[in-house]
Each structure stands twice: as C-alpha cells, then as structure tokens.
C-alpha cells in the first residue's frame, strides 16, 4: 500500500449522517418492548421534577453509553454532540456527563435494591421469552478486590492484599450468563460478609423460573451455619472447603479401592519449545508440575451443621523439580462439600472446574463494561453505576438468549464484551426518519448482519406484561 500514490482530501457531508454503532438497534428495540422503562419510572423516585428527563432516561442513557463503546461518564459528551446518534435513539437531547453524575449521587441503598429487583424481573422475562432450560439454575458467587487510586472515595479501605479500594460481590446465573446482583462493599470486608442475604435473594429469583437451584463458590462462601437451612429449603450447593488436618487424616485413611483416577483432558501437542520451563530449569528455580489426580468421597458433618454431607476429595500428585534435578513427588488434597446426591464425584469436580468462567465474567465487568471503575466520590453513586453497567452486560446476554440461531446465540452469551461490541454493534449505518420510523440503513456488510435482522424481527414480535 503506497500512501503517496494518491492525494487525500477531507470533506464533511451535509446531507448524509450516520453512526458507527448501528448494532444498537437491537438493544434499543429490546428496551422498547420490555417493561423496563415503565418499571423504573414507577418504582424509582429520585427526581423532584422531570424537566426534561425521567429516571428511565438517565438509566438508559448510561446503559447505551456502555453499549455504544463508551468507557466512562465523560464519553456521553461525544454522543450528545452527535446528531445522528440522537436521531438513532429518538431523542432531542440526552443528559450530559455532569447531569448523569448528579443523577448517580441521588441514589440511596433502598433505590439500588429497587434497581437490582427490576434487573432480575427483566431476567425472568427474558428466561421465559427465550425458553431457557428450566431444569437447574447455577448461581455462581464470588467477590473481587477492586483497587482504586483515588483518595477521597467514600468507604474505600485497605484489603488484606494491602490495596486500597473496594470488595464488590457478584452473583451470576451461569447457564444464561446474566448477573443477578452486584454489591459494592468496602475494601477491608471479609469475602462472605453480607453475602447470605444476597444469596437468598438470588435463590428466590432463580426459583421463580427454574426447578432446582445449585450454589457454587470457593471456600470463602462455604458458610456451614447456612448449610442445613439451604438443604431443608431444597437448595443444592457445591463449595470448596478449607484443607484442614482432620480432613487430611480422613483422606489418608481411605482404602486404596475408594480412589478413582481422574482422566486427563486431551490437549493438542505443543509444537514449540516450552521457553518458560527451560528458563526455570536453567536458573535453578523450584517448579511444581501436576502429574496425576485421584478422586474419592466420604461423609462429613461440619461442626456448625446437624447433617452429614458429601465431602469430595481430590488427591493431586505434584512433580517437584529444582533446576535440572527431579525430586520426590508431593501430594496435596483439595476438598469440596456438597449436598447433591445425584452427581458422581467426577461430575462434582467438573461442576467446580466450570465455575472458573465466573472469574472471566467478573474480569469483563471490570474491563469490558467498566462496572467496577468507581467513577464518583460517593459510595452509593458508585454502587448505582455498577448495577447500571451490570444491566448493560445483561443486555448482551439477553440478546444472545433471544437469537433465533441458538448456536450463535450461545456464542454471544459467552463472548467478551469488547468482541461483542466490535462484531455485533460496530456496524456503520445511516440514520434517517421516514414515515414515522427511525430507519437504520446499513452501509457495510458484517457476518452477523443477517442474525441482527432476524433477532430484531423476533424482538419486535415479543409481548411482555407492563410493569
């Protein structure tokens, strides 16, 4: 490509206007047919006068900023100066970043709870419309340490890792890929602090649609004092469990025939040299490498429980090398407690391994929709922004669940947000008004364009009960 072969001239068209994020037609249509705006306006009362914006205008404005590729509140300014975008969202004007920030600062904790409830009501509407499999809901629970470099953010504190910031709690339904709750917490809290109330709320939401509910989490959420109650309510759980001396002794006493070899997953053979391993050996570092695993189970009653539950134990053989020297192998135990009686130990282990995808979703909340960036100085304002960004992420999952092509829809549900934005939303189009319609006229082909038209057609035919 020779940049000097032809001269370049710049012009601005005065007749044709367009936007680069033409894919927002589907999210806009979904927000139109869902009872989303009416639920917010009827139940969220933050503004004394609606001149000129309502509560739903502010929430949708923040969501569309994320959907359109915005990273922060300041990016709203680009949208409000774009006449084609205003035409696309059928608005004469939208709130500027300062007004959006002022709106966030009006939230109290009860208002955020209302917003989370509305989000979950929309989740249930989408589950019903998409006919999601009702057999079982998998609720993943985890917290994350969110570091911030500000010094004046309300309730920020130092975590056990020595980082200043917050410790949000995230609950997700794994099968449909939607978030059920995002809870902002101070940085110094224990991972499970306040989690029980939010877990119970998520269980109520899941039970309204799914036949069974199963909770998954790491050892921080292995809340033994709640096990009997959850079991009596028909809620299943699988949690990692701390490796304690009494459990190790129980595992050591298991008969040889109680152990079963864990089959290793077949992987493609690497054709390149392992540079990292060679450097470790050359410099004489200590290196552990997993070799084999065995699995077994036994009954166990935690001290705060009145019932016995299944304790699944994995025995892992680790090959230890120091430089070029191969040492004697070491063995470590990993424990998982569950009240599920139907799955085999291997299926329980697979269930725990698949929980790792929840870590990816939390990372996407941070770097995909920027829900954990804490843009304001006020604690509840940051929490409200987190929940609104969570709903922007859920829009992606809702669109994937509703896609007529279920295979591609499943890919959208699993897709990282930035890739979703680039593949599904960044489609250039003209925006014109024609006979009472806002017309999106696409001017570039995209491999997903046919799916967008079919998805839009399906969304347009949906009918939901109004809030």
Q: Which are the contacts of 403, defined by CB distance < 8 A and separation ≥ 6?
A: 409, 412, 451, 454, 455, 458
1 pLDDT band (50/70/90 cuts)?
low
Q: What is the pLDDT of residue 67?
A: 92
Tell me whether residue 36 is exposed, middle or buried, using C-beta atoms within 10 angstroms of its C-beta: 0 to 12, 13 to 18, 19 or more: buried
Helices assigned H by DSSP within 253-378: 275-282, 345-353, 357-367
pLDDT per position as a tens digit, 350-389: 999 998 888 889 999 999 999 999 999 999 999 999 999 9
pLDDT per position as a tens digit, 54-88: 999 999 999 999 999 889 999 999 999 998 999 99
Q: What is the pLDDT of residue 345?
A: 94
- Which residues lie across from 322 on neighbouring strands? 286, 325
Q: How many CB atoms lie within 10 A of CB 157?
A: 15
Q: Is the peptide bond before 459 cis (omega within 30 degrees of 0)?
A: no
267 pLDDT band (50/70/90 cuts)?
low
pTM for the full predicted model: 0.91
* Whole-number Å distance between alpha carbons of 276 and 453: 47
Q: How remote is the C-alpha of 309 from its chain's centroid?
A: 30
**Beta pairing, strands 212-217 & 235-241:** parallel
By the 8 A CB rule, do 101 and 380 touch?
Answer: no
Q: What is the pLDDT of residue 276?
A: 83
The percentage of residues in the chain with a pLDDT greater than 90, rounded to a whole number, is: 69
Listed residue (196, 206, 220, 221) closest to 175, CA to CA: 206
Has residue 325 got a pLDDT over 90?
no
- 3-state secondary structure string across 382-430: HHHHHHHHHHHHHHHHHHHHHCCCHHHHHHHHHCCHHHHHHHHHCCCEE
Q: What is the pLDDT of residue 280?
A: 82
* Whole-number Å distance between alpha carbons of 432 and 438: 6
237 pLDDT band (50/70/90 cuts)?
very high
Q: Which are the contacts of 178, defined by CB distance < 8 A and separation ≥ 6?
A: 123, 126, 172, 394, 397, 398
Chain position carrying tokens 């969570």 = 390
By the 8 A CB rule, do 225 and 140 touch?
Answer: no
448 pLDDT band (50/70/90 cuts)?
confident
Kindly state the tokens that stand for 183. 């809870």
The stretch 17-35 carries a mean pLDDT of 91
pLDDT per position as a tens digit, 401-434: 999 999 999 999 999 999 999 888 889 998 888 8
Helices assigned H by DSSP within 239-323: 245-252, 275-282
Q: Which are the contacts of 39, defined by CB distance < 8 A and separation ≥ 6?
A: 118, 121, 122, 467
Chain position carrying tokens 């004007």 = 93
pLDDT per position as a tens digit, 181-230: 999 999 899 889 999 999 999 999 999 999 999 999 999 999 999 999 99
Q: What is the pLDDT of residue 466?
A: 67
Tell me 263's DSSP state.
Answer: P
Sign for the CA dihedral angle at 417, 423, 451, 392 comes to positive
Q: How remote is the C-alpha of 57 from its chain's centroid?
A: 24
Of residues 150 and 457, more confidently modeled:
457
- Which residues lie across from 331 on neighbouring strands? 317
Q: What is the pLDDT of residue 27?
A: 94
Q: Which are the contacts of 331, defined by CB distance < 8 A and separation ≥ 6?
A: 315, 316, 317, 318
* Whole-number Å distance between alpha carbons of 359 and 170: 10
By the 8 A CB rule, do 199 and 139 touch?
Answer: yes
Listed residue (30, 32, 204) closest to 129, CA to CA: 30
């Amino acid at each position: 490509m020779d940049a000097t072969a032809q001269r370049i001239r710049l012009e601005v068209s005065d007749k044709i206007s367009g936007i680069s994020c033409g894919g927002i037609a589907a999210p806009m249509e979904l927000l139109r047919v869902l009872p989303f705006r009416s639920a917010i306006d009827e139940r969220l009362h933050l503004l004394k006068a609606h001149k000129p914006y309502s509560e739903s205008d502010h929430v949708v404005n923040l969501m569309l900023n994320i959907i359109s590729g915005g990273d922060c509140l300041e990016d709203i300014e680009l949208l409000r100066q774009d006449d084609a975008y205003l035409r696309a969202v059928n608005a004469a004007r939208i709130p500027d970043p300062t007004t959006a920030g002022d709106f966030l600062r009006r939230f109290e904790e009860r208002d955020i709870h209302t917003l989370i409830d509305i989000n979950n009501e929309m989740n249930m509407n989408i589950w019903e419309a998409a006919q999601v499999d009702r057999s079982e809901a998998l609720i993943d629970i985890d917290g994350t340490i969110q570091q911030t470099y500000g010094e004046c953010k309300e309730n920020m504190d130092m975590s056990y890792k020595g980082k200043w910031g917050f410790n949000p709690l995230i609950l997700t339904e794994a099968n449909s890929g939607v978030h059920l709750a995002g809870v902002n917490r101070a940085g110094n809290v224990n991972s499970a602090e306040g989690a029980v109330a939010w877990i119970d709320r998520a269980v109520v939401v899941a039970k309204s649609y799914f036949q069974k509910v199963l909770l998954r989490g790491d050892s921080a959420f292995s809340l033994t004092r709640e096990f009997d109650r959850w079991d009596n309510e028909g809620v299943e759980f699988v949690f990692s469990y701390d490796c304690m001396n009494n459990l190790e002794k129980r595992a050591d006493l298991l008969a040889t025939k109680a152990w079963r070899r864990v089959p290793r997953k077949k992987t493609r053979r690497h054709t390149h040299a392992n540079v990292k391993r060679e450097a470790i050996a050359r410099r004489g570092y200590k290196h552990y490498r997993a070799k084999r695993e065995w699995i077994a189970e036994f009954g166990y009653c935690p001290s705060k429980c009145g019932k016995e539950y299944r304790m699944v134990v994995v025995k892992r053989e680790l090959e230890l090398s120091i430089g070029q020297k191969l040492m004697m192998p070491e063995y470590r135990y990993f424990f998982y407690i569950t009240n599920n009686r139907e799955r085999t130990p291997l299926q329980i282990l697979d269930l725990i391994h698949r929980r790792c995808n929840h870590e990816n979703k939390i990372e996407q909340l941070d770097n995909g929709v920027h829900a954990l960036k804490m843009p304001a100085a006020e604690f509840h304002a940051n929490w409200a922004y987190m929940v609104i960004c969570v709903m922007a992420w859920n829009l992606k999952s809702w669109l994937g669940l509703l896609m007529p092509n279920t295979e591609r829809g499943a890919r959208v549900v699993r897709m990282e947000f930035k890739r979703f934005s680039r593949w599904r939303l960044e489609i250039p189009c003209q925006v014109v008004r024609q006979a009472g319609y806002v017309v999106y006229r696409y001017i570039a082909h995209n491999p997903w364009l046919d799916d967008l038209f079919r998805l839009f057609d399906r969304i347009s035919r949906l009918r939901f009960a109004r809030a």
